Structure 1
Amino acid sequence: MMGSKEYIHIIAEKLGTAILKFEGPIYDDHCRLVHEGRTYRITSSLSVEKACNGLLYSDEDSMRLEMKLKSNGWDGRGLPPAGVEFEYLRGGFGADEGRWVKCTMKYAGEKFCIVHLDGEGESWLKHEGTQIRPIRSEAVKKKEAAVFAIAELCRQSASNGHSAELIYDAIKSGKIVID
């Protein structure tokens, strides 16, 4: 884990400023930063949550800021520039079908790109029909898992109308984790 001075330097560099306004103390693992009039909690892993009235939550603003801090300038539109890590949805057959694979952009041509796949070496991807996305933070992954679990409970309980109680019980028992 990086120290507070190191990640504050990275945040300032990614935001293109030497001046950052912090709200409260700066710890080794997180700080509260005011950016564009909003307060965010940013961890040393560059995960971002909006801070409001003592609550922390993820919304479009915090996700956009996190992407700006983590993505080396790629917001998920078009193709990532060379050197940027991203994921693509692998097609094909067998165990790899429908699995998101982490890779790094090496070169993008008109119809194909050359990527480095973690643990596999270089490969090519066809632009058309290939789904790609920025690397998701742990906070986004946890949120997606919780939302999926809640949606599944709602679907299962649609007939008896007890979805709120089931959701509460699942959260209380730890089956659904909300940070």
Structure 2
Amino acid sequence: MDEKKRRVLPLGGRNLRGLGLCLGLFLLWICLLLPLGRDILDRNRQNGAMRNRIRQLAVFAGQWDPEKSGEEKRRLDRYARENRQQSPEAWAGYLETEAARSGLQVLRLAPLNPEGKALPSGLEADLEGSFPQLFTFFRQWETRYPGVYTRDGRLETRERGKKVLFHGKFITGPVKSSKSREIPSSY
């Protein structure tokens, strides 16, 4: 009986090898290739976000004018020399004038009505201009009126970043913090 005996494997041998090969490939996919693919997708998302940021910076850099920046710096220096400390009550009338000096457009000024309380008093304002103009305005405002500060401020961009809208409150006087302690106005 020299005939070759057929080998009989349980569950049909060849199918078992194919099943084992498929299982091995599936495990390779789950353990190795799927995490690598996710990492690649995450990196692509991060690179896309970075490209968007770079595009935004390029737009800003394209709009930045060194002469305008120098003019804003000279304007800040001039206001620092003219620094006159005003009383906290006098600041409300000067807000519109200071904004106009900085080249900002005042869209809205409305008095705050803190439910019959005398302090803090203030105004709610919407100011529009370029970012350097807003920066100059807040720097000069900070030096001229140290007892007046902004609260609940929000910036929005308009016209593809060329204009910036500031919406916020200008407040004077002591204000209670979240822990009910008063913050002195002379800081």
Q: Same fold by TM-score, threshold 0.5 exceeded?
A: no
Give the TM-score normalised by structure 2: 0.20
Q: Which has the higher helix share?
A: 2
Which of structures 1 and 2 has the bigger CA Rg?
A: 2
Give the TM-score normalised by structure 1: 0.21
Q: Which has the higher strand share?
A: 1
Q: Quick one: higher RCO (CA 8 Å, sep 6+), 1 or 2?
A: 2
